[in-house]
Every structure is written in structure tokens, then in C-alpha cells.
Amino acid sequence: MRIDFLRSAVAAGLALHLAAGMGLPLAAGQGFAGAAAPAIGVVVTSGAFRLNHATVRSNATLFEGAMVEAGAAPARLALTSGAQLELETTSAGRVFGRHLALDHGAVRIDRAAGSASGFAAGFRVEARGLTIQPDASGSTGRIWLIGERRVEVSALTGSFRALNSQGMLIAKIVAGRSLALEPQLIPGRYRITGRLLRREGHFLLTDETTNVTVEVAGSVLSKPDFIRLLGQRAEFNGFARRGATPVSDAAQVVEVAQVTPAPPQGSAPAGPDGAGGTAPAGAGGSAGGASGGAGGGASGAAVSVTMIAIIGGVAAAAVVGGLAASGNLGGSTAPPVSR
Amino acid sequence: MFQSRLFARISILGFTLALGGTLRLALAEYAWRWGPKPGAEWPMTIGNSSYFKDWAERQPALALGALREALRLNPRDSTAWMALGLAAERNGDMEQAADSFFAAEQCDRQYLPVWTSANFFFRRGNDLQFWHAATRAAAMSYDDPAPLIELADHRQPGAIAALERLGESPHLERGYLRFLIGRSRWQEAAEVAARLSLHGDIPGNDGELLLNFTDRLIEANQGEAALAAWNRLQKFPAPDRAIRGKLVNRNFQRRPSGHGFDWRVTEPPRGWVHWAPSRLAFRLAEMTPDACILLEQPVVLDSGRYRLRFAYRTEGLAEKSGLRWTLLHDGRVEASSGVWDRTATKVSNGLVAEWNFRAAKAGLYELAWIYSRVPGTSHKEGRAELAFASLEAP
């Protein structure tokens, strides 16, 4: 009896030892063992890259907070969370288990696993005070830093949410669309355009540029001619009302200071600040931009920027023209227009 | 005649075939590198293994098949084996991954395959295999060993123990020292620095590294460790040992280095500083700010009373020169001398004065000679010289 027990114990011990020796996956995470191992993933490239300022060739193990700088070849990051990213050439960022703080350049999200239980659980990218979250594990897209302040988000498949530094939803980017975002000096400011709807006594508006629905409120709403704007396209200027809870579906309550009827979509009159409507690539207002590629849409695609909004203190401009939809995100050089 | 014609025809045919083959290879290369990405598969029919490796990178979902084909074409390609191992690991096939990394090491007995294996076994939590690979990688490492050291450091608590497992060498020791300094792990860094001072190139780069380490220890208020590190550098430019309660280079025989426990000299704004053996002279201008530090030295003190004796000379400055000594601790002024002109004793080439002060507690202090204009006096251009400064416990 005792001998049987000893045999069993020895056999179990040997099995465990062999399993460890052969590197069989003992832990739950795919491809990584290691309760003791603090590794958060692996980085692979066909050339050299810098890891915590040391030059490394081919591949390396990633730890929490590792600074990765891609060289002449992109660096592919596979994380234990299941997220897969590609840090484009000469781009750099600090990698954490659940997010990447993009320092410069661009990153492509090839897989944002862990999102099954909701977007908040998924991998996110932080850049210039903004947080970009994939909505689902299957979301793929590209986040690109332009110039000193701009962040461009392109959704290839699935959709992404952008949050400002206060965690306020400022944009939803759906597959095939690109949005240029630029934090402004005045936090909480809104300038949004859309059709006004009334639901259960609340006024709701979905901004055409950012796809974000807000509840509008304020003394302007009690004016008699305001009601005539119901169902019409209008531009709303105002500020976020702090501490107010919006009705469901709305991300924020906006205290409206000014409402201006907007022309139907397609026509291109200048807005009060000289912006608005649809403008051809490189033609828009204060575009500037770091890419400097005015009118230089990649692959000759008809790229244009349109619909400037300011939401939660962040200027947003849609970059349209099918680049994202075609999947040719790498060459998008169109300067977005924002204010 | 017939034979020569036949030979010519065969030659032309051979030449044409060779030319065609070369053109095909060139076209394939062109199409692969610069051709449109969709439909770029035809060059792969050429049978070049590098195309399959590229293909694996472009299409991660098809990587395993492409890499196997690359290896069928060139089984000695270690980069393909490594890529196959990484792809297999990503897919959860750890056995295939381990086999591939082993094959890579067989094909290429250089650093990269061993480094890749070390990383793999680290991620797998396989200590035995990890150290086996890491030790071999460490022996071959000629570049920055920081990434390898980071792996070892995660796996083995204690820098010295990790170094012993990796295999000691000055290359690893200096890499580990930089790694520990970057993480402000002073105690372990001091242990590694002690080893490096035995094995390293002290008159060369290692001396500079250890001197910078001493400065970092002083900045981090690690007085005892800084003293030990400084004193280990006696072969290198510091003939003065640093001792608790004593100043280094007290007669200015050597040019102040500005490092470690030696004097740090600051040129007064709009003035100048000049050193000659046993003489350090400052020129103060009328435009010199109301307060500035001229000279300072870190010193480790026990709690208690101390006497600073110093020889100095002024020329052209106001009667109340504004020159005084200050003792700083953690950036705060602990004690400050008065303007000592009245208590000074005249000697042949200047004045000798004393300043008695008390250190409230043991630790690292900064003794500074400062200029601070005395209220009611005006700036006057002039010189101030120090010939020696020594500290003693009375």
C-alpha cells in the first residue's frame, strides 16, 4: 500500500518535471507559462529594435512598462493578454499588459483580445492624453501620431472608441473610417452637428463626425424657435455639464450656449469659424499638420476631410476617402482639417 | 566545320538559357520587392527560401506553412528556424517551438539563436533550460547585455547570484552595474561595483563608470556606499582617500575633478576661476549675483562638533567680503559661518581662519564656500583665493 503510494508520488513528480522540462503550457495564458515569470509578451522583428534603450535583434521578452522602439523594420508585439500589435517603423511606445502608451509614430492593432467581456476589458492605446479602445476583440485599426498634437485613428475592422483625458467618450470610429483628433486648450468644449431628436422629454443629438450621442440641455432649449429645429440639422456650441447624468445612449449632457441651423449635408458653406462642410484634401482651414502632404493622398485615392467637431475639448475631423476601407492604411498621408 | 558550328550553337543555347534563368531570377526579385502585393506569390515558385520567410512575415496566419517550406528549401537557415519557433509558440505548440529553437542553435552557434532560446525558456518558466541558454548567450554577448541581464535578474533574486549563474566577466559586471543604477538598486549596485573594481579596466572606461556611479550614490544620499566606491578608485584619479569627517584634496594640490568626494568648483557668474597647485582663485565681478556657490565638497560626518581650518586671501573685495562656509544636508542649510575676517590670523601669504560647527546627525553633508553679499555693502570687483581647507573633529 505504502509502496503504491510512493510509486504514485514519484510518477506524479516525474510527470511534472518532464512537463516543465519540455516547456508544456502549464499556465492558462496562451503560449506563456509562468506565475513567477512577469513577462507580458514577446516582441519580434526582422531587423533590430531598441528595448529599454538597448539594441536587440530579432526578438525579446516584454516586461511591464518596457520601452520598445522599432527600427527600420516594424516590431510585432504579441502579448499574453492575446493582443497583437505592430509598432510601425521608427515608432516607439511603452508597453504594459493592458495598454500601450504610444510615444511617437504609429501602431497597428491586429488583434485586441480580452474584449469579449466588453470594450473596457480590452487592450487600449494611450496617446497624447487620449485613450483609444477597440470595441471588440476582432477590431483592427491603426493609431498614428501626427505633428505635435494630432492623433489619427483608422478602424479597419470592428470599431474603436476614443476617450479624452477625463475618460469621457469623444468618438466612435467604425470600420472603414478614420478620424483625426486633437486635444484643444479649452477642456469640455463642444461644437457638434447633427439632427436633433426628442426622446422621453430629453433632447438627443448624434454628432455626425464622431458618432457620439449627447443629451443637450440649457436655457436655449426653452426658446420658442428651438422646437422648430427638431429633426433638422443644426450645429450646437456649448460645454459639458459636470456631474450631470445623461439619459441612456447619451455619453454626456451638454449645456448648449448657441444653436445654429446647419445646411443639409453635401453643401459646403463655411461655419462661423470658417470651418465646416466638406473640403478637399489639403484645402481645409488650419490643417497644417505634420505630414505636410497636402493633397497627397496615398495611391491617388480621393482623400478628403470633412465634418469638424469639437467634443469634450477635443477637435475631431473625419478623414474620408476609403483608405481605411481599402485596408491601405499605411500610406494615408492626407492632412486632416481641424481647428 | 560542322563541329565548330555545332559547338557555337550549343554555346548560344547555353548562353540563352543562362541569360533567361538570370532574367527570371531578377524579375522575381523585382516583383517580390517592388511589385504589387496582391498576386506577388509567383516569385515564390523560384524556390528562394527568403521569399517564404518574407511571406511568413506578411501573412502571420500562414507563417507556419511558409516557414516550413523555407526550411525545406534551406534547412540550415537559423533565422527561419527561429521564426518557426516563435510562430509555433504563438500558436501554443511548445514542443515544436522548443525543437525549432534547438535546430536554430545547431545551425548557427552564435548569439542570436541562444538568446532566442533563453527568452523562450524564460517565458516557459523552465529554469534549467533558461540558465543553460542564458549562460551560453552571456559568454557570446559582445553588445549591450542589458536585455539578457534583465531576464536573469527576473529569474534570480540578487545581482551577485545572477552574475554568478550567468558567468562572471567585466562585460557582464559593467552591464549589470548600469542596469542596477538605472533602477536605483544601490546596495546591489555597490556589490557589483566592488567586483568590477577588481576585474575591470580601472584606468579606462570602467574607472569612469565607477566614478559616475559614485556621483549617483552621492546624489541618492548613499554616503557610506559612495565612500566605499570612491575609495576603490584609488588607482584612478583620486589619490586622496575619503574618510568620514575629512576633506579630500584639502590643499588643492590636484585640479578639482568635480566628481565623487573631490571639490566641485563653480565659476562665478561674470567672473572666472583659476586653479594652480595649492591655490584656487575666484574672480568676482561687480555684476556677480548677490549669492552664489563657488566651491563645494560632499563629506560624510558623524554627529558632533567639527572644526574647519582654511587659508584664504582676498584682494579688492569689500571689507565684509561676503565669503562664508555653509553646511548643507539634504539640500537644507544646517550651519553657516559668519564673515570671518575679524577672527582670521595673518600668515605670510594670507589669512588662516577657523569655523566651528556641529553636525546634528550622522550622514552625507555638503560643505560649500559661498559668496553672499552682506546687506549694506555693494559689490566690488576682486579676487578670493583658497590655499587649503581641512576638517577635523576637535
pLDDT digits (tens, 9 = 90+) for A212-268: 999 988 888 778 777 788 888 889 999 988 888 888 788 889 988 888 888 776 554
Show which of residues 9-68 on chain B sit within 8 Å of chain A, judged by CB atoms: 57, 60
Q: What pLDDT score does B168 carry?
A: 82
Asked if the Cβ–Cβ distance from A37 to B92 is below 8 Å, we say no
Q: What pLDDT score does A101 carry?
A: 97
Torsion angle defined by CA atoms of residues A84, A90, A91 and A95, in that order, rounded to the nearest 10 degrees: 60
Q: What pLDDT band is residue A296 in, cutting at 50, 70 and 90? A: very low
Q: Taking 80 as the threshold, does the pLDDT of residue B348 lie above it?
A: no
Determine what percent of chain B is predicted with pLDDT higher than 90.
56
CA of B29, closest CA in chain A: separation in Å?
A: 18
Q: What pLDDT score does B238 carry?
A: 55
Q: What pLDDT band is residue A155 in, cutting at 50, 70 and 90? A: very high
- Are both B2-231 and B264-392 of the same fold? no
Task: Indicate which of A16, A17, A22, A89 best probes the interface with B, i.e. most B CBs within 10 Å of its own CB.
Answer: A22
Task: Indicate which of B81, B94, B116 best probes the interface with A, i.e. most A CBs within 10 Å of its own CB.
Answer: B94
What are the structural domain ranges in chain B?
2-231, 264-392
CB of A168 closer than 8 Å to CB of A312: yes
The secondary structure of residue B1, as a DSSP letter, is -
Q: What pLDDT band is residue B38 in, cutting at 50, 70 and 90? A: low
Q: Helix axis angle, B205-219 relative to B170-182, nearest 10°?
A: 20
pTM above 0.80, yes or no: no
Topology annotation, domain A189-261: OB fold (Dihydrolipoamide Acetyltransferase, E2P) (2.40.50)
Q: Taking 80 as the threshold, does the pLDDT of residue A37 lie above it?
A: no
B82 interaction partners in chain A (CB closer than 8 Å): 58-59
pLDDT in tens, A56-115: 999 999 999 999 999 999 999 999 888 999 999 999 999 999 999 999 999 999 988 754
Total CB pairs under 8 A between chain A and B = 89
Q: What pLDDT score does B341 carry?
A: 56
The chain A residue lying nearest B175, using CA atoms, is: A54
Q: Taking 90 as the threshold, does the pLDDT of residue B345 lie above it?
A: no
Q: What pLDDT score does A300 carry?
A: 33
Cell of B329: 544636508
Q: Taking 80 as the threshold, does the pLDDT of residue B357 lie above it?
A: yes
Q: Residue B89 and residue B106: Cα distance in Å, rounded? A: 19
Question: Chain A within 8 Å of B297 (Cβ-Cβ)?
Answer: no
Q: What pLDDT band is residue A288 in, cutting at 50, 70 and 90? A: very low
Q: What pLDDT score does A12 carry?
A: 46
Q: What pLDDT score does A6 carry?
A: 44
Bridge-based pairing state of the strands A66-70 and A39-51:
antiparallel
Q: Taking 90 as the threshold, does the pLDDT of residue B233 lie above it?
A: no
Q: What pLDDT score does B391 carry?
A: 92
Q: Taking 60 as the threshold, does the pLDDT of residue B96 lie above it?
A: yes
pLDDT in tens, B283-299: 988 878 888 899 999 99
Element at B134 (helix H, strand E)? helix B127-140
Show which of residues 326-365 on chain B sit within 8 Å of chain A, judged by CB atoms: none
Q: What pLDDT score does B252 carry?
A: 92
Domain B264-392 in this protein, CATH class = mainly beta
* Cα dist from A310 to A180, A212, A276, A313, B50, whole Å: 11, 11, 11, 6, 49
B78 interaction partners in chain A (CB closer than 8 Å): none
Show which of residues 133-152 on chain B sit within 8 Å of chain A, judged by CB atoms: 143-144, 146-147, 150-151
Q: Which of A31-40, B349-358, B370-379 has the lowest mean pLDDT?
A: A31-40
Determine what percent of chain A is predicted with pLDDT higher than 90.
37
CA of A133, closest CA in chain B: separation in Å?
A: 23
Cβ-nearest to A52 among B90, B95, B146:
B146
Q: Taking 50 as the threshold, does the pLDDT of residue A276 lie above it?
A: no
Highest mean pLDDT among A6-15, B79-88, B194-203: B79-88
Highest mean pLDDT among A9-13, B194-198, B237-241, B379-383: B194-198
CB of A229 closer than 8 Å to CB of A196: yes
Q: Residue B217 and residue A220: Cα distance in Å, rounded? A: 64
Strands (DSSP E) contained in A39-149 are: 39-51, 54-63, 66-70, 75-79, 84-87, 92-95, 99-104, 106-111, 124-127, 130-134, 140-146
Cβ-nearest to A21 among B115, B126, B146:
B126
Q: Residue A188 and residue B372: Cα distance in Å, rounded? A: 50
CATH fit for domain B2-231, picks 1.10.10.60, 1.25.40.10, 1.20.120.450, 3.40.50.2300: 1.25.40.10
Q: To the nearest whole number, what is the mean pLDDT of chain A?
A: 74
pLDDT in tens, B113-149: 999 999 999 999 999 999 999 999 999 988 889 999 9
Q: Helix, strand, coil proportions of chain A in percent (round to 5)?
A: 15, 45, 40
The secondary structure of residue A230, as a DSSP letter, is B
Report which of A66, A98, A103, A61 is spatially closest to residue A83, judged by C-alpha positions: A98
Q: Which of A130-144, A239-253, A279-293, B365-379 has the lowest mean pLDDT?
A: A279-293
Cβ-nearest to B123 among A20, A35, A37:
A37
Q: What pLDDT band is residue B19 in, cutting at 50, 70 and 90? A: confident
Cβ-nearest to A78 among B90, B95, B120:
B90
